[in-house]
Every structure is written in C-alpha cells, then in structure tokens.
Amino acid sequence: MEDTQPAGRSLEHMPIPLFATVMGTAGLTLAWRAAEQAWGWSAAISTTLTAVVVLLFLFLSAAYSLKFIRYREAVKAEFHHPVKMNFFPAISISLVLVAMLLQPHVTWLAGLLWLGGAALHITFTLVVMGIWIGQRPFQIAHINPAWFIPVVGNVLMPLAGVPLGFVELSWFFFSVGVVFWLVLMTLMFYRFIFHDPLPERLLPTLAILLAPPAVGFLAWTHLNGGEINAMGRILYYTGAFIFLLLVLRARGFGRLPFFLSWWAYSFPVAAFAIATVTMAGMVPSTFLAMAGALLVLLTTVLVIALVVMTLKAARAGKICVPE
C-alpha cells in the first residue's frame, strides 16, 4: 500500500522527537494538578489536559508503531543516529507520565502502565548505555543534553512508583538516574567549555539540563516521605541556579528558527514549576508561592506557543520530511 501523503512527507519520516510533545503536555498537566492541589483550585484544567495527553500519546504510539511495521529500516536509522537514538526513551517516559496522570483516576491501570513504562525504560537505558560504552565510537561533538534522556529518565520513576507501592523499584531507578546524571553533567560541561558550541538545531536542548535536579527533587521528596531535608534543598536550588542560567540565555534562544527540538523547553520548565509549587508547600514562603504560580503560567504560555508553532510547521510541510 502506497502513502497518500505528498512527496517528501510521509510516515517514513515521522521523527522520534515528536514524543517530546507528550512529555511537554504531560508536564503542563502535572503542573496544573500541583497548583490545583496546593491552592484549592478546581481540577477541571488538569482533568481536561489529562484526556488530551492520553489521546496524543495513543495517536503518536499508533503512528510510530505503523512506521516500525512499514519502514523498519528508517526506524533502525533513527536508533543508530547519535542524537535521535536518545529520544527513543521519550516513549517510555511518556508512558510513565501517562501512568502518573491516571493514578488518581484508575489506579490499577496506572500500575500496569508504570510497570510497562519502567521495564521499557530500563531496557532503553541498558541498550543505549551499551552502545555508548563500546559498540560504536563517539566523538565529543556528539554529546549533547539529549543524552540525559535515557539515563536521567530513571529519576522520574519514583513520582508514580512510590504512590503505587513500588518503593524498592523506585529506589533502584532513582539511584541509577542520579549517579549517571552526575557523570553526564561532567562530560557535558567539558564539551561546552573546551569544544565547539552546540549546533543551532540543538541549542534548545540546553533546557534539558534543568530536568534532572527538578525531577530529582520531586523524586527525593516521594522517597523521603514528603519531608524536606538537606538533599532536597540541594537538588531544588541546583535546579533554581540552572533555571537562572537558562533565563540569561533566553534572548539568544528566541532568535532561533523553530525546530521540534524547541519542545525540549517544555518538560524541564514544567518540572521546575511543579518543584517550586511543591517547595512552597514544604517551606512556607510567599516568594516561592508567587514564583510557583508564575512558573505554571510560564509553562502554560510556553506549551501553547509550541503547539501553535508545531501546527504551523506541519501545515507548511516542515514536519515528517527528510532531513
């Protein structure tokens, strides 16, 4: 059966980074849920967004599964690409995020989705790290913030795992994510300082640096019984520093043309918004409460802007095309 799409635009060229849209919209949903719970707001927005995220994930999963069936060589080429291979774990992360969204509504289904997502993610982590370690040579220019996705995605697991009762498994994933986050952060800054800058297309992925400490803080609070301590403060304020560092570079980011990599902004900013709202509840502070509200608003504006730009790019035939 032949594609009915115009030449140059087909399922064969559906990019794996599209799953970052699920991560971004799920992050926005969780940010609104945190705000609603913290300040007694109606749950209407987060409930509506949950439905949107689930439908988006199902659509992209079906489309990419069809791509795998019909264009297996194209999928293999993506998996062996030094940058794109790191976006495959966005599928398992998206599955875990969907489990987090469904946990208050359908607990048994959330548990199954979490187990499936966790198993898939550790598989991706092992395979990708195996490739890093010795199956193929890499140059320092290949490393970029997207490399955090396979490893540090493990830090996300306790956010749903602990409430669902998978405490020891959550500790396992958290340990893997935190230790290798530190390793990758060291390599990343070596690359930033002593080698050529990131190519323009990958500059938005710098925002991914914000995700590990923000998600790490949230995971630690779950594992620590919801109490704040020195470790929690270190993780949160490390995230705050990286956020300020990114803000200083915001003007430069704004001059870039739109790429799908712009979605790299969404989930980390959402994670930091959730962390700030959570921190404001644990360390009563008017400043943190105001900052949390502003970050939820910023995340909302950011995701809306990304949706609009993505739809415009799709309409202009700039998505699902050969690179």
DSSP string, 45-58: HHHHHHHHHHHHHH
Give the per-residue pLDDT at 7: 40
Give the per-residue pLDDT at 323: 67
How much is the pTM?
0.91
The more confident residue out of 139 and 117 is 117
Quick check: 97 and 53 in contact, CB under 8 A? yes
Lowest mean pLDDT among 40-54, 195-209, 259-273: 195-209
Give the per-residue pLDDT at 156: 95
Give percent of the chain above pLDDT 70: 95
Q: What is the mean pLDDT of the chain?
A: 89
> Going by C-beta distance under 8 Å and a sequence separation of 6 or more, which residues neighbour residue 106?
none
Quick check: 45 and 31 in contact, CB under 8 A? no
- Once rounded to an integer, what is the mean pLDDT over residues 26-48? 93
Angle between helix axes 107-130 and 89-102 (nearest 10 degrees) is 160
Lowest mean pLDDT among 30-34, 242-246, 257-261, 289-293: 257-261
Measure the CA–CA gap between 129 and 55, rounded to whole angstroms.
Answer: 31
Whether residue 15 is predicted with pLDDT greater than 80 in this model: the reply is yes
Extract the tokens encoding 269.
């900013």
Whether residue 165 is predicted with pLDDT greater than 90 in this model: the reply is yes
Q: Which of 213, 214, 217 is nearest to 232 (CA)?
A: 217
Measure the CA–CA gap between 303 and 274, rounded to whole angstroms.
Answer: 15
Q: 1: pLDDT confidence band, cut at 50, 70 and 90?
A: very low
Query: Residue 109: how many CA atoms within 13 Å on its side-chain side?
Result: 10
Q: 3: pLDDT confidence band, cut at 50, 70 and 90?
A: very low
Whether residue 6 is predicted with pLDDT greater than 50 in this model: the reply is no
